Structure 1
Amino acid sequence: MTLLDALRERLGATAPKKGCDHGQCGSCTVLVDGRRAISCLVFAVAADGARITTAAGLGDGDALHPVAQAFQDDDAFQCGYCTPGQICSAVGMLDEVKAGAPSVIADDLDASPTLTDDEIRERMSGNLCRCAAYPNIVAAIGKAADR
């Protein structure tokens, strides 16, 4: 059983979505011990003992996570199907940037990453939006990074 199926079918977590079930769309992205993971490609048994965070678990009570708040403020979704995966991926990506992890488009692998729009697009390229809300998604992530 995949982590996605365990989350949805056994635990009732509806935030991660089954989009393609092949690891190509990112709708099922969750955080596994703080790192983003495509849950349809992870066996549930491999995540045994790990801390799994879905988009629903990112907030603090009634307060939205800063990335989720930026998505709301910037209208970074249309149908909303991909939004939980986009938000989890953005949170994980921003943590990667803070840790200094370079991307494939980095000019200097030893320099601290600069989060430009192109850098955000590259780092989020595994998350697809069928509604093409990308301009607002990129803007929301950029604003969340500044907060």
Structure 2
Amino acid sequence: MSNYVGSCSCGAVEVAVTGEPAAMAVCHCTICRGWSAAPVTGACLWAPDNFKVTKGEDCLGSYAKVEGHDRKWCVKCGGHVFVDHSTTYGLMDVYGSILQDFKFEPAFHVNYENCILPIKDGLPKFKDFPTDFGGSGEMLEE
């Protein structure tokens, strides 16, 4: 079983995940783009039982523009750490870029209808979400 650890930029907050993610995707939604100030974000979703804040829980700030999507960051350095989707999808989204020795291998794109940076990688492009995540399952061309 794989174990990964990660932290915010300053190291005040540390997290650990076990096993492999339930899903990995590239998100193009306007909320993720606005939050990250980037054209896309990488979603790495784990079951809540496979996720733990191991240090600095008292240093976590929280923001939920949309209910059930509770974004957490370090209040000392501003580094983004994870998004708590446990009440909406039953999953925790840990930013793969903060995990040591973790290889981000997305299986699909979500919210591609909002794309501002087209990515031609041959992966499925969902207009919104796959049906198992409550979306339409509608696919878009690259």
TM-score, scaled relative to structure 1 = 0.29
Larger proportion of strand: 2
TM-score, scaled relative to structure 2 = 0.29
Larger proportion of helix: 1
